[in-house]
Amino acid sequence: MAKLSVNLNKIALLRNSRHTGVPDVAHFARLAHEAGAHGLTVHPRPDERHIRRTDVFMLDRLMRPWRPEFEFNIEGYPDPRFMDLIAEVRPEQCTLVPDAPGAFTSDEGWKLGPDQMGLARTAIQQLKAQGSRAILFVDPNPDIVSRVIDAGAEGIELYTGGYAQAVREGRQAELLAACGETCAKARAAGLAVNVGHDLNLDNLPPLVAAMPGLAEASIGHELTADALVLGWAEAIRRYAAALAG
């Protein structure tokens, strides 16, 4: 059964639009835990447009009684600022993304060519030494699996933004197959397989069906939008159920 990690970025984004602390990220973290999420994901970007460094330390303290079963997944680019934060917090999982500092969002995975492999390998070595599961954010392409192994990662997160766009356009068959093939190859190699980006209650079920052995989906943007209608707890229950298959 695939697990749901709720991404709190958009709660923090709304919070940052005023100086009142509303909505309270800690409150929505507690509600997510109570509603049956399996973990929380945050992406403390360099510009702190949403999740701030202080949020990460607050969530580390808040989640401690619930961990390690309820996992903390921290995403980010492995620059010194980020790696120092991870060394302090030591989350159960760290998902490395190749985002430039001012990236609009995470919209592509690591290619792990000569220009990226050294950085990835070094960061992964540090993560593993610290006890954080090292995950690489990659595009749905079976050819990337051998390079992920070469980098020493323990798993992948498939970038599903392209798949979500294909679903909107009714042309998802090719990307769904690519996700399934990449998942099967990664699982055969002993890698954990996660998914994330623009997943929602419509595009999730066929993806789950196409990816036997899927471990986790980290979902924030569309879940938060759905919560404006359904409520936060009900939205989380529905996404967790969709992942349970």
Ligand X SMILES: CC(=O)[C@@H](O)[C@H](O)COP(=O)(O)O
Ligand Y SMILES: NCC(=O)COP(=O)(O)O
- Considering only 197, 203, 224, 239, the residue that binds ligand X (CB under 6 A) is 197
Q: Out of 71, 75, 154, 216, pick the active-site residue.
A: 75
Q: Out of 33, 43, 92, 216, pick the active-site residue.
A: 43
- Considering only 105, 131, 225, 231, the residue that binds ligand X (CB under 6 A) is 105
Q: 221 labelled as ligand-binding?
A: yes
Q: Out of 92, 154, 157, 197, pick the active-site residue.
A: 197
Q: What is the dihedral of CA 97, 103, 107, 108, to 10 degrees?
A: -50
144 phi/psi in degrees, rounded to 5: -75, -20
Residues with Cβ within 8 Å of 130's Cβ and at least 6 positions away in sequence, in order, are: 86, 87, 90
Q: What is the bridge-based pairing of β-strands 155-159 and 192-196?
A: parallel
Asked if 78 interacts with ligand X (CB under 6 A), we say no
Minimum CB distance to ligand X smaller for 13 or for 26: 13
Q: 7 labelled as ligand-binding?
A: yes
Is 197 catalytic? The answer is yes
Is 19 catalytic? The answer is no
Q: 105 labelled as ligand-binding?
A: yes
Is 75 catalytic? The answer is yes
Interatomic CA distance for residues 96 and 157, integer angstroms: 9
Buried b (16+ CB within 10 A) or exposed e, 103-114: eeebeebbebee
Q: How far is the CB of 238 from ligand X (least distance, A)?
A: 20
**Distance of alpha carbon 62 from its chain centroid, rounded?**
19
What, of ligand X, ligand Y, none, does residue 97 touch, CB below 5 to 8 Å by kind? Answer: ligand X
Asked if 75 interacts with ligand X (CB under 6 A), we say yes
**Catalytic positions, please?**
43, 75, 197
